[in-house]
Structure 1
Amino acid sequence: MKLSIRASIDKIKTFSRVFVERPRFAMVISIVLTMAGILAITKLPVAQYPQLTPPQISVTYNYPGANAREVQNTIATPMEDEINGVDDMLYMSSDCTDDGNYQLTISFDIESDRDMDLVKVQNRMSQAEPKLPSEAKQLGGRVRAQSTDFLGFFSLGSPKGTRSRLELSNYAYGIIQPALLRVPGIGDATIYGPKLSIRVWLDPARMAAQGMNSEEVIQAISAQNIQASLGAVGGSPTEAHGGYTYSLLAKGRLMTAEEFNEIVVRRDGNGGIVKLKDIARTEIGEQNYMFNGLYNNRNAISIGLQQKPGANAIETMNAAQAVLDDLAKDFPEDMAIDLGYDATDYVRRCIREIVDTLVVTFVLVVLVCYLFLQDWRATLIPCLTIPVSLCSTFILMSVLGYSINMLTLFGLVLAIGVVVDDCIVVVERVQYLIETRGLNAKEATIQAMSDVTSAVIATTLVLLGIFVPVGFMSGITGRIYQQFSVTLSAAVCFSTVCALTLAPALCSLLLHEARPYRHGPFAWFNWCLEHFKGFFVSCARWLASRIFLALMLLLLVVFLTVQMFMTTSTSFLPEEDQRVIFCSL
């Protein structure tokens, strides 16, 4: 086993020599990795955290005129009896409202495939539909895969107060909602406002005088408010040849209250008829009066956006706002739309702060490297490996379906200080050989890689031994930190690749001469560093001669660490103030 490991390391040493002999080859590899990483960044979705919630499929139905109990008995019960127990299902929850709406949300195992979950739910729905009321079947059900959280809320209002909620809602349903549903990444656009409808107010006294009931009125309205296909005159089959074909058109569905008033409810044997206006009052109004929206104390309706699973939240929100800006150019007078809540605003600020931290960390690492290496050429080598390693990490993130979120970016922030370690080891060894043995850059690099390759690989394996196990944690905690672990481990691996390929190539090109004696601030820094090293060595020797005391100090540190760990409060995720309050009544 030891011989095989030694043989593998010898092959890697030979592998590094290839790039010393062909530095352009190493540069091309690094450039390709960097460009591929930049391309991956543009395709990765952006989110605050990794996908934590299990995939959810939403099923919705509407039963006009039914209350919550009727919806529960006629739609919820048969639908849930059929869907319950579908493969990979974790749990489900339903909501029945007094306006006849029914929504069932099915949660699946977090590892399940969303597309297959959607197909399985649709198959179960088709089995339950024959048991549903005819009114609900005519309107049809809707099944969608969507995110549970809202992406944002827009408010469509009337700044001068001349538009009613019904006008605003009707415009939103007819113009705005279809446009938003066509935006890539939008899973659903929910209108929180009344729907336009014809309301028929029956007069019980007149109905009793005519001997009618409400069922008779409903049947008459349903029979006469239809869109009929009448065919054509002169069409096939016909014996005439060369004639004309005339399509027959019917008036179709009724659109105004006056047209509904003329519906014939009953005919008697003497030719008398009873119209709807004789027993009822019709008007255009709201389907129900459960919605009452205000924005800045003016009539308004809300539009809630939910994104599709895996969509880029920021790009989706930008696209939705662009669509609404285009629609706003053609809005009727005294109608305006405002952004009331943008969930991506907090994500943008968090990502921006982490990116700023990333830049500051990069600058600090460069300064520290220059402070200790004290040569801009030597500093340039490890600094070039930082963007190559980080950009290459995005390639793996894209392949694994990860997102750019706070945890992956946090891993990259930590990685900046780690990815330069291996390259610094290579650079320091090459400089040492140039200064002490008088070798040229190419010879020193080949010798240095023979000396430090084992150490570089060993340090990488040690770091992976720390970070990789985090990705195998079970439960939702492991799901959260898996992306953090993989991102950091990938960056470390790519940094090792750079240390064995790019760093030797650059050392053979950039490091040509021994560093001159330093004056000024560098000389003062070197003097302080030498004295600190002497002090540290003295302390180490003193502790080495007192093993028992050293062990006692170690146990004390372990004890204090355990005590602090036990007394520190814990939480699933840090508490955050997004400056938004949601109230449900």
Structure 2
Amino acid sequence: MNLSEFSLRRPVFAVVLNIAIIVFGIIGYTFLGVRDYPALDPPNISVRTSYPGANAEIIETQITEPLEKAVNGIAGIKNITSQSSQGSSNISVEFNLGINLEEAANDVRDKVSQAQRSLPTDLEAPPVVSKADASNDPVVIMLLQSDKRNALEITEYANNNLVERIQTVPGVSGVNIWGEKKYAMRIWFDPQKMSAYTLTPQDVQAALLRENVELPAGKLAGDKTELGIRTFGKINTEEEFNNLIIKNINGADIRLKDIGEAVLGPENEESVLKESGVPMIGVAVIPQPGTNYIAISNDIQKRLEEIKKDLPEDIRLEVTNDQTVNIRKSISEVKETLIISFFLVVLIIYLFFRDWLIAIRPLIDIPISLIGAFFLMYLFGFSINVLTLLAIVLATGLVVDDGIVVTENIYKKMEEGMPKWQAAREGSKEIYFAVIATSITLAVVFLPILFLEGFTGRLFREFGIVVAGAVLISAFVSLTLTPVLNVYLSRKVFKHSKFYVKTEPFFNGMENGYRRILKGFM
């Protein structure tokens, strides 16, 4: 007893199995991420080092080159690129595809830690090692600008009112602010006055480290009372900085205002983001790996509607770039293609069988195979992207083949006068192994894609697995559900339709012509 005969004897069991495929497919679909292309970026580790005041040559010789030499010995590195600029060093280490990102990051951290002894001792902080992946690109970019506020005030408003509200959107990994201006106390020196007092910038730095500090002061305890003590040692305002005592010379206190001036301003004055002379900042939303970009975009749009209700009149907030626009277009085009494919499949089957009851059966077989493919995508950790959607469209034409072959053979038995249950059993039994062999052959054709190396192999791996999986699921559906449908969706008394009777001479002519051509070649 093969699978088809068992399904005919246990039709409820066959229906339940196919319903299970639909249920698991729907469950898998709900957990799939949606993005434009598969996440194929190679492991990329960046090493950033800050050395304020140093020019590009010093950065390169004292920081970049020692770190490059240390990192260069790690196995699996594809290439190393570095950039040495005023006050900062940035090294990007790209690894080969297939290298584990966590292991690569740990190897780079170990090498950087070993190289720290050869770096300048007065670095403000050790080099920062960070990871990069395909999900680091922002999914939504917004611009915040104002005609009345400067960049400092706009940045402060964004950090206090926008960032936290957007970060709470499900699926958001972080929010980056482009062109931000942070408040900082900038000290401007007068070289002539410093020379007159024989002071150097190092003296000012030492005074700041000595005076601008808040230390624990302990507590006061008595017989019945205990009080905690807090000392206020932090300097916050321009006036407090200007009154800072730098040095005592011959009994006279030399203050900061005597040799320069402290001014509250932006931390970085070398870059600015403007549009038509109006200052603005960019707010970029970074998604978590494997999340649904469309769901994130929809939630952000809803959150922005709430935020705009509380926006001051002088501040404008608008979305300038939404990565999901192209994804939505791709999904919409796939939906249209699937609808056209379904219509053409039904039409072609009707033109050859000339029976609507048979023509509508692919509307049951095809969705089961395609929905089941979503569960395979979930098991393999794939996402809904351009290539997996292409695989679904291509599979639409492939998965219907097995059902047509089984249905045609059963239909032929019924034309010969065999009862429909017996026709379903005998018809499916005759081509049982043929259907299995055909489906395995189709699936195996796409399996070599799994063994392709490099970027191309990884790019098309999802495509091959989805198509092969859909074909194998269609074989199972054709051998279980299709025979059952041919029994329960067939007329009690078999007869040809009027359209069949009128068009049969045309098909007989085609068969006779083909027979004569074949005999001529033989």
Does TM, normalized by the shorter one, top 0.5?
Answer: yes
Which residue number in structure 2 is paired with residue 223 of structure 1? 210
Distance verdict in 2 for CA 1:450–1:531, change over 3 Å: same
Contact 1:180 1:189 (8 Å CA) reproduced: no
1:244 aligned residue (222, 225, 239)? 225
Name the aligned partner's letter for residue 356 of structure 1.
E
Q: Which residue of 1 aligns with 2:246?
A: 265
Equivalent of residue 408 in structure 1, options 384, 388, 413:
388
Task: Give the letter aligned to residue 265 of structure 1.
Answer: I
Could you list the runs of 5+ residues in structure 1 that have no partner in the other structure?
1-12, 235-239, 546-585
Of 140, 147, 151 in structure 2, the residue corresponding to residue 165 of structure 1 is 151
Query: Partner residue of 1:447?
Result: 426
Question: Deviation of residue 472 (structure 1)?
Answer: 2.7
Aligned residue-pair number: 520
Measure, in 2, the Cα distance between the counterparts of 1:526 and 1:219.
102
1:395 aligns with: 375
AA in 1 matched with 2:460? Y
Counterpart of 2:517 (choices 514, 533, 539) is: 539
Query: Could you tell me which residue of structure 2 aligns to residue 582 of structure 1?
Result: none
* Aligned match for 2:417, one of 437, 446, 461: 437
After TM superposition, the structure 1 = structure 2 runs for residues 106-185 of structure 1, keeping only pairs within 5 Å, are 106-129=93-116, 132=119, 136-138=123-125, 141=128, 143-147=130-134, 149-158=137-146, 161-173=147-159, 175-177=161-163, 180=166, 184-185=171-172
**1:436 to partner: Cα distance:** 0.7
Contact 2:414 2:494 in 1 (8 A): no
Does residue 529 (structure 1) correspond to residue 517 (structure 2)? The answer is no
What is the distance in 1 between the residues matched to 2:105 and 2:210? 36
Q: Please, which of 332, 335, 341 is the counterpart of residue 315 of structure 2?
A: 335
Aligned to 1:3: none
Does the 8 Å contact 1:373/1:379 carry over to 2?
Answer: yes
Output the amino acid matched with 1:204: P
Q: Distance in 2 between matches of 1:108 and 1:411?
A: 29
Which of these residues, 181, 205, 225, is aligned with residue 194 of structure 1? 181
CA distance in 2, matches of 1:358, 1:296: 46
> What's the counterpart of residue 366 of structure 2?
386
Q: What corresponds to 1:44 in structure 2?
A: 32
The one-character-per-residue Cα deviations of 1:245-282 (angstroms, maximum 9, x if unpaired) are: 32222325332222211211112342x21111111122
**Deviations for 1:50-106, whole angstroms, at most 9, x for unmatched residues?**
2332122334343344444444344433443433333433223233443x3443332
Say whether residues 1:511 and 2:490 are aligned partners.
yes
* Cα root mean square deviation, aligned: 2.8
Secondary structure in 2 aligned to 1:200? strand
Distance 2:339 2:74 in 1: 48
Task: Call closer, same or farther: CA 1:482–1:178 in 2, change over 3 Å.
Answer: same
Q: Distance in 2 between matches of 1:312 and 1:353?
A: 19
| Aligned residue identity for 1:313 | Y
Between the aligned partners of 1:188 and 1:59, the Cα distance in structure 2 is: 21
Q: Bigger CA drift: 391-400 or 47-56?
A: 47-56
> Take 1:97 and 1:292, find their aligned partners in 2: how far apart are those partners?
18
Alignment match of 2:236 (pick from 244, 255, 269): 255
Q: Which moved more, 1:346-355 or 1:390-399?
A: 346-355
Matched, 1:497 2:483: no
Q: TM-score, normalised by structure 2?
A: 0.90
**CA deviation after TM superposition for structure 1 residue 190, in Å:** 4.5
Shift of 1:505: 2.2
Q: State the one-letter code of the partner of 2:406.
A: V
8 Å CA contact retained: 1:23, 1:506: no
Q: What amino acid is the match of 1:168?
A: I
Partner of 2:448: 469
SS in 2 for 1:201: strand
Contact 2:48 2:88 in 1 (8 A): yes
> Which among 338, 348, 373 is matched to residue 358 of structure 1?
338
Could you tell me the percent identity over the aligned residues?
30
Q: Which consecutive aligned stretches of 4+ in structure 1 deviate over 6 angstroms post-superposition?
A: none
**Deviation for aligned residue 1:446:** 1.4
